[in-house]
Amino acid sequence: MSTYPQQPQQTEQYGVQAGEPPLWAPYYGAPIGAAVKRFFKKYTAFSGRASRSEYWWWTLVAALVSVVLQIFTMSGLSVGVDGDPVYGATFVIGSIVWGLWGLATIIPSIALIIRRLHDGNFSGLFALLLLVPFAGQLAVFIMTLLPSNPAGQRFDQPTA
C-alpha cells in the first residue's frame, strides 16, 4: 500500500484523450492501426485537423509499402547480355500495383498534409509549397513536425 496521495488523472488537457475522438477531431496519440483507419475514412476530408501521430504513422506505413513495392518491382528487372534492360512479369505486375497504390493514396495524402498543417494553425495553402523543390518541401516538412497549436481549432467543423 502506497503512502503517497494519488494524483487525479487529467483527461481534459489539450492533447490528452480518454478514447478515440470523433472523426472530425484530431486523434492525439493515435496508435498505428487507428491512424491508418482514419486515413482511409477521411479520404477526401480537407477540413479539420490531423495530429502528429496520425500524420507520421501514415507516413511510415506509406513509406514501408513503397519500399516493398519497389523491391518487388525491381526484382523483375535484369540486364541482358547486350546491356539492355529485360523486364520480367514481376516488373510489369509491380509497376501496375505501384501505380494503382499511388493513384489510390495521392488525394488522401494531400488531404492529410492539409489537415496536419491546420493542426499547427497554418493555412492548408502552404501545401502548395510542396511544388517548390527542396526549400518548399523542407518548409512543409518542418511545419508537419511542429506541435499542435490550440488556435488550429478554427479549422474544425464538428458534425453533430
Digit-coded pLDDT (tens) for 51-97: 999 999 999 999 999 999 999 999 999 998 999 999 999 999 999 99
Tens of pLDDT, residue by residue over 38-64, are: 999 999 999 999 999 999 999 999 999
Round the average pLDDT of the chain to a whole number and report it: 90
Region 97-111: mean pLDDT is: 97
Within a domain: 73: yes
Range of the domain at 64: 32-146
Cell of 107: 488525394
Within a domain: 18: no
Within a domain: 71: yes
pTM score of the predicted model: 0.84
User: Which residues does 51 contact at the CB level (< 8 Å), separation at least 6?
Assistant: 26, 27, 28, 29, 30, 119, 148
Region 15-42: mean pLDDT is: 89
Within a domain: 98: yes
Total domains present in the chain: 1
Long-range contacts of 92-99 (CB under 8 A, 24+ apart): 94/69, 94/70, 97/69, 97/72, 97/73, 98/66, 98/69, 98/70, 98/73
DSSP state of 88: -
Within a domain: 151: no
